[in-house]
């Protein structure tokens, strides 16, 4: 459980409201993850041109990663909703890569996920002291709650959260998160798992959905993103996450995100 808590504590989510009000007709969403708070009315959810769900009750629709979808109001009248585009850091993306394309929660009076998302949207619309910090903290809490619900309900059957409870791979996940800058190799990680190199590599990929090297890169990139947001110099950040110099980290950014660290920071601003 300590390993799981360590993993969850490292993720970060950014949210920006893109629609608020009454939906007349259809609204198309693409290019990032999204969270929709449907407050009243009824609508249909269409994913990739196929109708997936008819919504008739107040609810939350959470798309953890980019999924082309459309919300269409019904003839009975417009639906009232708030929609936010979300961006997970590399660590968060690794956590949700095996979740369904969307997760549905009905709004319940005492549901903790409901309370958090309503509080989050209230902060988004109010220009109050500490607004951005509150949005960031509430976004983090929301994604943690969703992952907890998904894990407890068996939605996540593969991936990092499953590996955290695996009798052998959990030890590997723990040391990677504890020392991400270490010069880990498949051989050294296989030794920690008490498995042969080939069996470890196959088991890791089957359970987590990534190779060990790709997973370590995502962990390092996620930590680098957090440090860069704190205005740490790229050379310092590179050393903290396991790269010899800033140019090596920049190459990883371009390979994974298609942009340099400086360009990535500019997208946040």
**pLDDT, tens digit (0-9, with 9 covering 90-100), for 171-201:** 888 888 889 899 999 999 999 999 999 999 9
Which pLDDT does position 160 carry in this prediction? 63
Assess whether pLDDT exceeds 80 at residue 125: no
**Taking a C-beta distance cutoff of 8 angstroms, is the pair 220, 179 a contact?**
no
Q: What burial class does residue 194 get, using C-beta atoms within 10 Å of its C-beta: 0-12 exposed, 13-18 middle, 19+ buried? A: exposed
- Helix, strand or coil, per DSSP, at residue 167: coil
Contacts of residue 122, Cβ cutoff 8 Å, sequence gap at least 6? none
C-alpha to C-alpha distance for 161 and 183, rounded to whole angstroms: 23
**Which range is least confidently modeled, 20-24, 54-58, 108-112?**
108-112
pLDDT tens per residue, range 221-248 = 888 988 888 889 999 999 999 999 999 9
Assess whether pLDDT exceeds 70 at residue 11: no
Q: Which residues pair with 87 in a beta bridge?
A: 14
Cα angle, residue 227 at apex, residues 101 and 135 outer, rounded to 5°: 55
* Rama region for 25: left / alpha / beta (φ>0; ψ in -120 to 50; rest): left
Question: Tokens at residue 104, please?
Answer: 């549905």
**pTM exceeds cut of 0.85:** no
Which pLDDT does position 157 carry in this prediction? 44
What average pLDDT does the segment 69-80 reach?
84
Say which residue, 92 or 25, is predicted with more confidence.
25
The helix (run of H) or strand (run of E) holding residue 175 is helix 169-178
Say which residue, 268 or 98, is predicted with more confidence.
268
**Taking a C-beta distance cutoff of 8 angstroms, is the pair 66, 120 a contact?**
no
Q: What burial class does residue 76 get, using C-beta atoms within 10 Å of its C-beta: 0-12 exposed, 13-18 middle, 19+ buried? A: exposed
**Which range is least confidently modeled, 13-17, 68-72, 234-238, 251-255?**
13-17
What average pLDDT does the segment 74-99 reach?
74
- Helix, strand or coil, per DSSP, at residue 210: coil
* DSSP type of residue 4: H
Query: Please, which pLDDT band fits residue 97 given cuts at 50, 70 and 90?
Result: low
């Amino acid at each position: 459980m300590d390993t799981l808590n360590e993993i969850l504590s490292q993720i970060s989510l950014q949210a920006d409201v893109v629609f608020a009000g009454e939906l007349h007709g259809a609204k198309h969403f693409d290019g990032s993850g999204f969270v929709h708070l449907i407050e009243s009315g009824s609508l249909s959810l269409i994913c990739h041109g196929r109708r997936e769900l008819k919504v008739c009750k107040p609810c939350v629709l959470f798309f953890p990663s980019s999924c082309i979808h459309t919300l269409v109001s019904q003839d009975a009248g417009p639906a009232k909703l708030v929609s936010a585009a979300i961006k997970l850091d590399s660590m968060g993306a690794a956590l949700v890569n095996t979740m369904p394309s969307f997760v549905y929660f009905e709004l319940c009076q005492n549901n903790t996920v409901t309370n958090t998302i309503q509080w989050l949207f209230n902060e988004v619309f109010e220009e109050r002291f500490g607004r951005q910090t509150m949005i960031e903290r509430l976004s983090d809490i929301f994604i943690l709650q969703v992952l907890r619900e998904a894990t407890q309900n068996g939605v996540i059957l593969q991936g990092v959260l499953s590996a955290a409870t695996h009798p052998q791979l959990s030890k590997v996940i723990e040391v990677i998160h504890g020392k991400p800058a270490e010069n880990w190799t498949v051989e050294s990680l296989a030794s920690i798992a008490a498995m042969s190199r080939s069996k470890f590599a196959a088991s890791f990929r089957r359970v987590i959905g990534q190779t060990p090297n790709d997973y370590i890169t995502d962990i390092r990139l996620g930590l680098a993103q957090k440090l860069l947001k704190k205005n740490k110099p790229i050379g310092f950040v590179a050393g903290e996450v396991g790269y010899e110099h800033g140019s090596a980290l920049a190459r990883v950014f371009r390979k994974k995100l298609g942009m340099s660290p400086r360009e990535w920071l500019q997208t946040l601003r």
